[in-house]
Amino acid sequence: MNSLRLDMPKTGIAWAPAACGELVEGIIDHQAFLVSCPIDLYSKAKVCLYAKDMYPHPIDCGRWPKASHAVSAALEAWQGDMWDATLEIESCIPLGKGMASSTADIGAALAATALALGLVPNPVEMTEVAVKVEPTDSTLFPELTVFDHVRGSFHKHIGKPPPLMVMVFDWGGQIASDNWYGEDSKMLPLLQQQGSLAARALHLVQQGVALGDGKVLAAGATLSAFSHQDILHKPGLESLAQCACGEGALGVTVAHSGTVAGLMFPPMEAGQIARIAGTLSNAFPDIQYLGTYHLIGGGIRW
C-alpha cells in the first residue's frame, strides 16, 4: 500500500495572466520599476510531484526551461529536495512581444507547484523565485502593482483598475530584453534621463486607479508610452493612437521592451470592437491586430 501511495502524484493546476506591456516603466532615483498592464489572456500550468526517485522521467527542462528552473528552485525553497516533478504548460500568449509570456508560464508553474504541495500560492514568494530566473512582470499580484522587476526588492499595490479594454496591435518580430537594465546596457542612460516623466506617468496611473477614472489612468500610460519612443521606437504609434482616439480610445499603453501596443477603450460590445479593429487595421496595414482584452488587476487563478 505504501508503494501505491508513493506512486500517486500530488497535482496542482493554475493559470497566470498575460500583459499588454506596461502602463508605466522606467527608473526613478536609480530605482527600476514597472506597473504591468495585465489582460485576461492566460497561461495554464500543471505540475505533478512524485516522491523522490519514484518517477522515472522527472521534469523536462527542454520545452519550458525558465518555468522548469523556477519549479526546481521553488521545490528546494519551499519544501526541500523531496520531490521529482513533471510540468505541462498550455499557452497561446505570443512570445517575444512584451506580453509577459515568460512571467505567465513561470507564475502558473510556481502556483501549480504550491498547490501540489498543499500551499496557497503567495505572489510575494512566487516573485522572489521568479526574479532569480529572469526580470519579472507584476502580473502575478492580484492588483496593479509598482514592482522592482529586476531584483524584486519592493512591491507596492495600487489597486484594481477601472473598467477598460485593451486593443492589442503588434509591430512584428521579437525582442529579447533580459539585459535592458544591466550595467552595460545602452538603454540605461536614456531610462535614467526620463526619470521625471516616469514619475509623472506613475502619479497619473495611481491617481486614475484611486479615482476609478480610466481617462486619467490612460493619460499616464500614454505619457509613458510616448516618452519611450526615444528608447524603443514604434513607427506610426502616435498616428495609430490619434486615429483610435477618434474612435473613442482614451490612450495607449506599450510594451516598453517589446513589439506590441494597446489602445485603451471604455468597455465595448463585440460588434463595436470588430468595427474599430477593422477600421484601424485597414488604416495601418503594417501593424497586426492581435485581439481585444479586458484590463484586469492581475493575479493567479486556480
CB distance 135 to 18 below 8 Å: no
What's the whole-number average pLDDT of the chain? Answer: 92
Least confident of 14-28, 174-188, 239-253: 174-188
Mean pLDDT confidence for 107-127? 97
pLDDT in tens, 256-299: 999 999 999 999 999 999 999 999 999 999 999 999 999 999 99
pLDDT in tens, 46-90: 999 998 877 666 666 668 999 999 999 999 999 877 888 999 999
β-pairing, 260-265 vs 165-170, is antiparallel
The full DSSP string for the chain is -HHHHHHSPEEEEEEEEEEEEEEEEEEETTEEEEEEEEEEEEEEEEEEEEETTSSSS---TTTSHHHHHHHHHHHHHHH-S-EEEEEEEEE-PPTTSSS-HHHHHHHHHHHHHHHHTT----HHHHHHHHHHHS---GGGSSSEEEE-TTT---EEEEEPPPS-EEEEEE--S----TTTTSTT-SSHHHHHHTHHHHHHHHHHHHHHHHHT-HHHHHHHHHHHHHHGGGTS--TTHHHHHHHHHTTT--EEEE-TTSSEEEEEES---HHHHHHHHHHHHHH-TTSEEEEEEEB-----B-
Its sign, for the CA torsion 212, 216, 219, 223, is: negative
C-alpha cell at 253: 499603453
Of 181, 80, 187, 174, residue with least CA distance to 136:
181
Least confident of 13-22, 107-116, 191-200: 191-200
CB distance 131 to 50 below 8 Å: no
pLDDT in tens, 172-226: 998 766 556 655 666 777 788 888 999 999 999 999 999 999 999 999 999 999 9
